[in-house]
Chains A and B, each alone.
Chain A
Amino acid sequence: MEFKDYYKVMGVARDATEAQVKQAYRKLARKYHPDVSKEKDAEARFKELGEAYEVLKTPEKRAAYDQLGPSPRPGENFRPPPDWGSGFEFSGPGDGGGDRDYSEFFESLFGGAAGAARGGRRGFDPGRGEPGRAPDHHAKVILDLEATLQGGSRTFTLRVPEIDAEGHLISKERVLNVQIPKGILPGQTIRLAGQGANTGSGAAGDLYIEVDFQPHPLYRPDGRDLYLELPVAPWEAALGASVKTPTPAGVVDLKIPIGSHAGTKMRLKGRGIPAAPAGDLYVVLQIALPPANDEKAKAAYRAMADALPFNPRAHLGVLP
């Protein structure tokens, strides 16, 4: 198993004071909190940070951890020493909020999350709920945009916390095949009744899956509307044209009005995300210039320059 250098994770020296550890945690937590951060690996970093802080803020755990010495030979397989933990007192990883999932390294040193200390913070009450009913589970998944446009089923692998026979909190993989409701929007939740925790007695909890979308190569969603950048040739914009345009429901002929310019926005009503009511598709025009890479093309540009008394910088107050 991989040795975790908690001091490195938190960016503090091995002799950092409690106050310095706390300060470092706060700063990094704000940076990597998955609700705040847009960094790709925010969730993993935040988890690692929480684990490091859990050890370094608790004097007994930190003392025990320090006993291992600085990072042993890099790349070498780490095993806790046989006399590990003697003379220190700790039970369970503490008030981690109840739903943390710790690394194998952490669990080999401090055990699983089972135990009385789970979720001890103010306002949290994990033990509550309907008597005899197992807890709900919450998860987040990233969908392709087609899933909401067309519906259909998708398969996810979720990590589910579970208490094993010895009372350790372990995380198990669970593969789910879910029918995606057509028209679901980012930030909305699919509720799957009875798919949460199942304690074997009483009713099972529910599973709540919050969805978000992957970026799509063509369409950019904004609420239930979609935006599509559509390149047109200068003459199509100037003279008007009918051009083929992709939409989620298939290719359509779109009429480009005479005298269109870059940024002209056209609305195709009801062609957005098929929520209730359906969103619209906004087509935003881009003017694409043909390259002047041969004599014929250059001549065409020269002819245009001769024919058109055009100063694109007139509004800047300079002569052509």
Chain B
Amino acid sequence: MRSAQNALTGEIFEEYAVLSVDELSRLCAVERTYIVELVEEGVLQVAAVEAEQWRFAGTALRRARMALRLQRDLEINLPGVALALELIEELDAMRRELQSVRR
């Protein structure tokens, strides 16, 4: 039932990935300038600068894709996306806290 035979093996992306703007934009299927806009709006954080090139942590992929979905599906602008993401994170943290108080 849970045999490891023939199972596909992958890695935890966030543990090793260091992404350039080009890689991140390819993974999100967006133009490079969109990633730059996400950084300027504070949605994405640049983890390091190497040879004048931005480097992102692997966690940036999930965040960028979430921003994209929110923008596309809810037709909100970037400052709205940034606000929504912050509020969603705050809400998640409060839900976790509530769970620990309730039990």
**Please, what's the 1-or-0 string for A136-171, where 1 marks a CB less than 8 Å from any CB in chain B?**
101000000000000011100000000000000000
B17 to chain A, nearest CB (A): 8
Contacts of A97 in B (CB 8 A): 72-73
| Residues of chain A contacted by B9 (CB below 8 angstroms) | 178-179, 192
Q: Which of A91-147 contact B (CB under 8 A)?
A: 97-98, 119, 121, 123-126, 128-130, 135-136, 138
Q: Which of B2, B13, B88 contacts A191 (CB 8 A)?
A: B13
Q: Is the CB of B70 within 8 A of A33?
A: yes
Complex contact A152–B4 (CB within 8 A): yes
Q: Which of B44-75 contact A (CB under 8 A)?
A: 58-59, 61-62, 65-66, 68-75
| Complex CA–CA separation, A251 to B100 (angstroms) | 23
Q: Is A278 an interface residue (CB 8 A)?
A: no
Q: In angstroms, how far is the closest chain B Cβ from the Cβ of A152?
A: 5
Q: Is the CB of B27 within 8 A of A136?
A: yes
One digit per residue, 1 when the CB lies within 8 angstroms of any chain B CB and 0 when it does not, for chain A 198-212 equals 000000000111100
Nearest-CB residue, chain B, relative to A276: B15
Query: Are B88 and A222 in contact, CB atoms less than 8 angstroms apart?
Result: no
Bound CA–CA A129/B34 (angstroms) = 15
Partner of A124, one of B4, B58, B72: B72
Q: Which residues of A contact B62 (CB under 8 A)?
A: 187, 189, 210
Whether A229 pairs with B103 at a CB distance below 8 angstroms is yes
Closest to A138 in B: B65
Kindly list chain B residues whose C-beta atoms are within 8 Å of the C-beta of A33.
69-70, 73-74
Are B10 and A123 in contact, with the CB atoms below 8 A? no
Q: How distant is A211 from chain B, measured CB to nearest CB, in Å?
A: 9
The one of A29, A125, A184 that contacts B31, using a Cβ cutoff of 8 Å? A125
Bound: A128/B58 CA distance, A: 21
Among B66, B72, B84, B103, which residue has the most Cβ atoms of chain A within 10 A?
Answer: B72
Minimum CB–CB distance for B49 against chain A, Å: 24
- B76 nearest CB across to chain A (Å): 9
For residues 1 through 45 of chain B, which have their beta carbon under 8 Å from a beta carbon of chain A?
2-4, 6-15, 17, 25-27, 29-31, 34
B15: chain A residues at CB < 8 Å are 188, 276
Contact B14 A188 (CB under 8 A): yes
A179 CB contact (under 8 Å) in B10, B65, B88, B95: B10
Min Cβ gap A248→B in Å is 16
Choice from A34, A128, A195 contacting B8 with Cβ under 8 Å: A195
Besides A124-B30, A191-B17, 16 other CB < 8 A contacts?
A29-B73, A29-B74, A30-B74, A33-B70, A97-B73, A119-B29, A123-B30, A123-B68, A124-B68, A128-B25, A178-B10, A179-B8, A187-B62, A191-B11, A192-B10, A284-B103
List 19 interface pairs A-B (beta carbons < 8 Å), by A numbering: A29-B73, A29-B74, A33-B73, A97-B73, A119-B29, A124-B68, A125-B31, A129-B29, A135-B29, A178-B8, A178-B10, A183-B12, A189-B12, A190-B13, A191-B10, A191-B12, A193-B10, A220-B103, A284-B103
